Structure 1
Amino acid sequence: MQPFDRVVTEHGAVVLRVCRAVLGGHADAEDAWSETFLSALVAYPRLGPRADVRAWLVTIAHRKALDAIRARGRRALPVDEVPERISDLGVPGSDDPDLWRAVAALPERQRLAVAYRYLGGLPYAEVAAIVGGTPEAVRRAAADGVASLRRSMGADPPGGAPGPAASPSPAASASAPAAAPTSDAARGGRP
């Protein structure tokens, strides 16, 4: 079993990305990250040698994020001055507030599926075990979430990417002249 500090170094960024995707705000996500590793430190000596450490940590992070969501209702009023931000642990996209707002705006099931599958790197079966449902339902939620993120970030226009395979709108079809047949069969010849 590797030393716990190596576990934190190896999986810290993944856990933080998952916490941010579920919780949105930096302070809540960083608190959940800390709570995740404090709980993991206590339980780590009892972890089996064949355990999937990343899946185990993401599961703990999921529970800590849910605890943070429940605690929001019991939280004191915000202060006038915001404290200085702590390190991002080299998290890709961490300096893009629009991306994190878009992730936070996803419906909960899509947000969790995207967080655990793409940020946490878990297989669909493990994500389904964490959030409930089937791997197929999680796969669909993750795909819908990614599509929504692409649209909101301007990567795909609404309705999907245009291209040669895209069918014209009904209005355009009604006003466009019919295309001439081009195949041999359409001209009366043999295929």
Structure 2
Amino acid sequence: MKPFERVVDEHGPTVLRVCRALLGPTDADDAWSETFLAALRAYPELPADANVEAWLVTIARRKALDQLRARRRRAVPVPELPETAVDGHQPADEDLWRALRALTTRQREAIAYHHLVGLPYADVAALVGGSADAARRAAADGMRTLRTLLKERP
């Protein structure tokens, strides 16, 4: 079995992309850290023939869902509303994240796991539930929505 440090080096960027796609840039680092802490504890018990990338993506998904649930329960007080840019246009990252939030959870996960991680639709289906065809449809519908929303920006 590889040293865990090599596992982090090899799969860390993929896990971070998944966390960013599911949570946005603000909470992604925390989910990434929690993913690898949980993985470090379980790594010695992992079978030698396991797909490490898929295993880590599954852990990252669970950590992201935990953070999303916690976020819904937390009140976020703000002293005042944030100002918008002078021309009313938000930076590209904010536009993209706003469009991603408009997707259903299944669509966002299907896009993240297939297009960002490169998992085949059968593996995406195993992660999110349903069939490979349903995962393909969710990703296609989500991509169509993203294209529409991002094309409409000012």
The whole-number CA distance in structure 2 between the counterparts of 1:55 and 1:138 is 16
Secondary structure at 1:20's aligned position in 2? Answer: helix
- When residues 8 and 121 of structure 1 are mapped into structure 2, their CA distance, relative to the original with a 3 A threshold, is same
Aligned to 2:29: 30
Which of 120, 128, 132 does residue 131 from structure 1 map onto? 128
Per-residue CA shift, 1:122-171, capped at 9, x if unaligned?
A: 1111111111111100001111111222222229xxxxxxxxxxxxxxxx
Q: How many angstroms apart in 1 are the aligned matches of 2:102 and 2:7?
A: 31
Structure 2: 5+ residue stretches without partners: 80-91
| Residue identity matched to 1:20 | R
Q: Residues 67 and 119 (structure 1 numbering): CA distance in 2 closer, same or farther, change over 3 Å?
A: same
Maintained 8 Å contact 1:21/1:104: no
Contact 1:20-1:29 within 8 A present in 2 as well: yes
The amino acid that maps onto 1:48 is: P
Structure 1 Cα separation of the partners of residues 14 and 97 of structure 2: 15
C-alpha contact 1:20 1:100 (8 A) present in aligned 2:
no
Q: State the match for 1:112 in structure 2.
A: 109
* Structure 2 residue aligned with 1:147: 144
Distance between the aligned counterparts of 1:72 and 1:63, measured in 2? 14
The answer for the alignment partner of 1:186 in structure 2 is none
Instruction: Work out the CA distance in 2 between the residues paired with 1:135 and 1:78.
Output: 41
> Match for residue 41 of structure 2?
42
> Unaligned 5+ residue runs, structure 1?
81-94, 156-191
* TM-score normalized by the length of structure 2: 0.81
Higher relative contact order (CA 8 A, sep 6+): 2
* Partner-residue secondary structure (3-state), 1:27: coil
Once residues 21 and 109 of structure 1 are traced to their aligned partners in structure 2, the CA distance between those partners, rounded to angstroms, is 12
| 1:15 matched residue in structure 2 | 15
- Residue 98 of structure 1 and its aligned partner are, at CA, apart by 2.2
**1:53 correspondence with 2:52:** yes
Runs of 4+ in 1 over 3 A off after TM superposition: 76-80
Question: What amino acid is the match of 1:12?
Answer: G
Q: Amino acid of the residue matched to residue 109 of structure 1?
A: R
The 5 A counterparts of 1:88-103 are 96-103=93-100
Distance in 2 (alpha carbons) for counterparts of 1:28 and 1:99: 16
Q: Distance in 1 between matches of 2:26 and 2:99?
A: 17
RMSD: 2.0
Give the TM-score normalised by structure 1.
Answer: 0.67
* Alignment: residue pair count: 140
